[in-house]
A and B are shown apart, each in its own frame.
Chain A
Amino acid sequence: MKKVKIALMALILALLVAFPLFDSNLYHQQLMNQVFVNIIVVMGLNFITGLTGQMNLGTAGIFALGAYGSALTCTKLGTPVWLGFPIAIVIGFLIGRGLGYPSLRVKGVYLSLTTIGFSEVVRLILTNAIDFTGGSQGVQNIPFLNLFGFEFNTPFKIYYLYFALTIIMAIAAARIVSSKWGRVFKAIRDNSDAVEACGIDVANLKILAFTMAAVYGCIGGFLYTHMMGYINPTAFNQDLSVNYLVMMMIGGIGSVAGNILGAVMVTLLPEILRFMQNYYWLIFSIITLIFAVFLPYGIVSLFKKSERQERHFDIFHSIKKAREIWGGRIAK
């Protein structure tokens, strides 16, 4: 079984590497680049909403700050473009800390509202701070990424860079999901009181989850901005946050493979359905609805054991595992 899985994975990777060599259509390449950006953002959202169960509807705000942070530093200060990457990480870290604290006090719907508020505040600041952000006219002439004098200025070149980055970030995300952090995150989602009773600092871990979500989101924004070359605040609206949530729900909550599937599907499906002309968005919404009703745990649950059993299994297992890892340290 494992061999089949590895062979399948290798096949998909080989196909993806070969894709732009055989398909020189810029539209297809650009779409794939968008898919990569979306995969990274959804993997981030997965940490906080998928694993830790804290509803975050502020992804658009996080994404926008990552995008603007990098765009403004390199257009206003003329710094090297790659510097946007560490800047995105720092911004992500700060947002994660800042958003993480309220999440300790507010739960459920109220946390959703806080995060919506955050992303709307970001959007309105970007719109109204005209002298600094260019307001609604956006930031123009954002340079492409370059490394050692090599400029990533066509969708073809961007494809390979983003593809490599996505793989690295996906491996990191998968490792985190199955690490002790990942397990504690799941345990917090399932029963945060029990986790606390095991002597684990829930507050710190929630902030950690938020921070990772924000760092991934900001890196996504950074990649987006240097791919588009022009950004304005209207793109970073509430629809975008919801869209990322939909990607996560459709693909599979809590699983990196699911996030990837979801991002691929929600980004590509509307484009594939374009031939339906006026009805394509309707059909897309219906397909989304069908998925939500019949596969509440996402596409990935088709390939897994019943999620109910898994959850049942997970609550106890993850608490036990967490207790072993963290309890030992506390006992010292």
Chain B
Amino acid sequence: MKKVETMSAHGATTISKSWFRKITALVMALCLTFSYGCAGNSQSSDVSGSPSTANSAAEQKFDGKITIGVSAGITGSIPMAGERTLQGVKMAVEEINAKGGVLGKELVIEVADDQSNQSVVINAVNKLASNPDVVAIIGPHLSGSVMAASDTLKKAKVPFLSQGTSPKLRTIGNEYLFKIRPCDAISAEVAAKYAVEDLGAKKVGISYNNNDFGVGGKGVIEAYLTKVGVPFVSEGHNSGDKDLTGQIMKLKNENVDVVISWTDDAESALTARQFYELNLNKPVITSTATSTQQVLDLIDEKAVEGFYSVCDFVITDPSEEVQDFAKRFKEKYGIAPDQYAGNNYSVTYLIADAITRAGKADREAIREALASTKDVSGLSGTYHADSNNELIHECKLVQIKSKVPQVIKTISVDVK
């Protein structure tokens, strides 16, 4: 009864409100129908989104299509990496198609944003794997994402090529996972070795990120230093930290000779800046991040001068292939490529090569072809699959001079 009374008391407002509501409901219903309707066509829009079909004349000479999935963090915590990945892959796909495709078929890509978040990664790779046309997947990038996606892709039997470098990926026993960058166990050991042998460190400071990547690298460095009997101090920080004064002051007070910094992009920039501000004045060897353009852009020239960085792909690499790629990439997108662009560009070629070697676009056949990869050249070295499905066994040591990474030497590790 009470309800009725209240209703009549506000009768006038109720009517106008209910009109408003109905219109809102209608608009939203339309919105949803529209999105559902378009979702039904997603297959075709995915394909037309790929660069290859833009050239309709070229399309006619192909006999069918081969689809490669790309799982990249286009939104989320490292969107730049996702964008470069896509640009690199698209560029390679265009070139391959211009040369006649693979096995006479047109190469196309299907992209899924994984937001660099493990819950979303599962959805992204599930979506790609559930499409029977997808024969191989490039990505996901982060080691944590790879761990999350590993089981799904193993069950679906899709070969996937990841940039994840965590040594822990060696232990998950997934024969469908291929690693296209040197494992951190390799690059971290290269850093530690250089500190001791070339820079003559008597005491090493380690500044590491408390994530998968940082902790993994720290473990390798500590193991090496223990083995050669050089004392060390380790100081960790968390992703997203904005101040490292405490950690750096500790390293300073411990009088370390050389600092090895093993962390991600944003934290690398912060570390470099604060090393300079707090006047650390010691040689610094860092993980790949410092040699990338997006990190160099965040740091003052003085702060990063003379830093060493262990990396696999660097655009100042004097080799002809890299210089040629960098030039074409810059012409196409108006920006210098980074390791995500370079590595994924190379990897697209590697997959095309594997499909050609397999002789058919079949998931299992491609996996076998990838696992028997030998001496396929790429931008960051020669691809050569070992028993761990690791494809690259060399790193470059660069020194930053006037914000330009200069290659000092290339260090290869024996293939197991």
Contacts and interface: CB of A to CB of B under 8 A. Distances in A.
Nearest to B125: A27
Main SS of the interface on chain B? Answer: helix
Interface string B1-29: 01100110010001001100100110110
A138 B147 contact: yes
Nearest to B127: A27
Contact of A31 (B38, B112, B123, B172): B123
A229 B148 CA distance: 8
B333 interface: no
A312 B7 CA distance: 11
Interface stretch (B114-122, B255-263, B300-308): B114-122
B42 interface: yes
Interface string A213-235: 00000000000000011111011
Given A127-B210, A274-B127, A135 B122 contact: no
B243 interface: no
A259 to B, nearest CB: 18
A137 B215 contact: yes
A295 B24 CA distance: 8
A30 B122 contact: yes
Contact of A277 (B17, B49, B166): B49
B156 interface: yes
B6 A26 contact: no
Given A26-B130, A140-B172, A309-B7, A274 B42 contact: yes
B74 interface: yes
B156 A294 contact: no
B21 A302 contact: yes
Contacts of B312: none
Most buried by B among A234, A302, A305: A234
Contacts of B28: 290-291, 294-295
Contacts of B212: 136-138, 232
Nearest to B41: A275
A280 interface: yes
B148 A230 contact: yes
Contact of B7 (A140, A239, A291, A305): A305
Contact of A137 (B39, B126, B168): B168
B126 A26 contact: yes
A56 interface: no
Interface in B139-175: 144, 147-148, 150-152, 156, 166, 168, 172
B133 to A, nearest CB: 14
A177 B214 CA distance: 47
B211 interface: yes
A239 B3 CA distance: 40
B98 interface: no
Contacts of A34: 119, 123
A317 interface: yes
B2 A317 contact: yes
Contacts of A306: 10, 14, 17-18
B189 interface: no
B137 interface: no
Contact of B46 (A128, A138, A275, A290): A275
A27 B130 contact: yes
A313 interface: yes
Most buried by B among A31, A34, A306: A306
Contacts of A127: 210-211, 238
Given A137-B168, A232-B118, A309-B6, A277 B215 contact: no
Interface magnitude class on chain B: 35 or more
A137 B216 contact: yes
Interface string A273-300: 1111110110100010011001100000
B239 to A, nearest CB: 8
A15 interface: no
A308 B18 CA distance: 12
A229 B172 CA distance: 13
Given A27-B130, A124-B238, A230-B148, A302 B42 contact: no
B75 interface: yes
Contacts of B7: 305, 309
B24 A275 contact: no
A308 B20 CA distance: 15
A15 B364 CA distance: 36
Interface in A308-332: 308-309, 312-313, 317
Contacts of B151: 229-230
A79 B194 CA distance: 46
Given A136-B210, A275-B41, A313 B3 contact: yes
Interface in B192-220: 210-212, 214-216
Nearest to A277: B49
A291 B27 CA distance: 11
A295 B148 CA distance: 36
Most buried by B among A135, A137, A283, A295: A137
Contact of A272 (B10, B39, B118, B156): B39
B80 interface: no
Contacts of B42: 274-275
Contacts of B117: 234-235, 239
A127 B239 CA distance: 10
A90 interface: no
B226 interface: no
A135 B210 contact: yes
Please give me the 8 A-B residue pairs with the lowest Cβ-Cβ distance, nearest first: A275-B42, A27-B126, A136-B211, A27-B130, A294-B24, A136-B212, A281-B75, A235-B118
Interface of B: 2-3, 6-7, 10, 14, 17-18, 21, 24-25, 27-28, 31, 35-36, 38-39, 41-42, 45-46, 49, 74-75, 111-113, 117-119, 122-123, 126-127, 129-130, 144, 147-148, 150-152, 156, 166, 168, 172, 210-212, 214-216, 236, 238-239
18 contacts: A25-B130, A30-B122, A30-B126, A34-B123, A136-B212, A230-B147, A232-B118, A235-B117, A239-B117, A271-B123, A272-B36, A273-B39, A274-B127, A287-B31, A290-B28, A290-B31, A294-B28, A306-B10
Given A136-B211, A137-B168, 9 more contacts: A34-B123, A137-B147, A228-B119, A230-B118, A272-B39, A277-B49, A290-B28, A294-B24, A306-B18
